[in-house]
Structures are given as C-alpha cells and as structure tokens.
C-alpha cells in the first residue's frame, strides 16, 4: 500500500514536477509552479488529467476557457484538450495531479520547467510500458 499525506508532501517539494507513484493505469505527480511560471500549453491526446490545487492562486486555461484556481479547487482535463496552468499569485502554485494512463517516467524528478522541457524534448521522460 502507498500512503501519502498529499497536501503536506506537495507543499514540501520545491521541484517543478515529481512523480510520486506510477501504476499500470494511473500516475500521481506533484508540481510546484513558481510565481509568474506556468506548466506550458500542451495536449495529451490519450491521457486524462485531474489536478487538485493545494496552495497558491492561478489560472486554468482549457480549450479557450479561463478560470481562476486556488487552494481546494479540482480541474479535470479530458484527453485531447489543449491546456495550461499559470501561477498568477506572489507565492508558488502547488498541486497534485493524476494522469491516466501514466505520462512521465516512473520516479521522474524535474527541478525546473526548463529541465522538464529538455527531458521531454530528448525523449527521456517517457512513461513506463506495461
């Protein structure tokens, strides 16, 4: 059994992205987006994503719609939808997200967005094959 006090684990992570757990069908990831930062516009063609916000303030931009997000909010991004999440506040925007199926390498840690982008571009952040 895996057990996380997820808000605490997410709040304590300074990393842009950290994979906490990877299963056959889903993956749990925590993220910390610095003030003025963003995840970056993307589309996951075959992956659903559920994001829960632990602290901070930001914007969810999905398929041309924009909504404010803050602590306690949950946003669902169905597969095939263009999306981005932007930190609009003075503090880090902290969240955890569940991908189904997994999106990233098991146990991947990306300290910064730049590092995450470089790993993805190099093809070194591929999900496990089951």
CATH number of the domain encompassing residue 83: 2.60.120.10
The answer to whether position 129 is within a domain reads no
CA dist 103 and 47 (Å) reads 7
Of residues 91 and 122, more confidently modeled: 91
* Number of domains making up the chain: 1
Q: What is the dihedral of CA 104, 108, 113, 116, to 10 degrees?
A: -60
The separation between the first and the last C-alpha atoms of the chain, rounded to the nearest angstrom, is: 19
Q: Is the pLDDT of residue 127 over 70?
A: no
* pLDDT score, position 36: 97
Q: 96: domain range?
A: 6-104+114-121
CA dist 64 and 7 (Å) reads 29
56-113: pLDDT as tens digits: 999 999 999 999 999 999 999 999 999 999 999 999 999 999 999 999 889 889 999 8
pTM, entire model: 0.89
């Amino acid at each position: 059994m895996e057990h996380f006090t997820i808000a605490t684990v997410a709040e304590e992570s300074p990393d842009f992205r950290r994979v906490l757990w990877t299963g056959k069908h889903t993956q749990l990831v925590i993220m910390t987006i610095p003030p003025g930062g963003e995840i970056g516009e993307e589309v996951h063609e075959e992956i659903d994503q559920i994001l829960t916000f632990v602290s901070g303030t930001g914007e969810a931009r999905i398929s041309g719609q924009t909504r404010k997000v803050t602590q306690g909010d949950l946003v669902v991004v169905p597969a095939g939808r263009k999306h981005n999440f932007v930190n609009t506040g003075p503090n880090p925007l902290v969240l955890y997200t569940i991908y189904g199926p997994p999106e990233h390498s098991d146990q991947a840690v990306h300290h910064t967005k730049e590092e995450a982008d470089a790993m993805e571009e190099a093809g070194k952040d591929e999900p496990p094959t089951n």
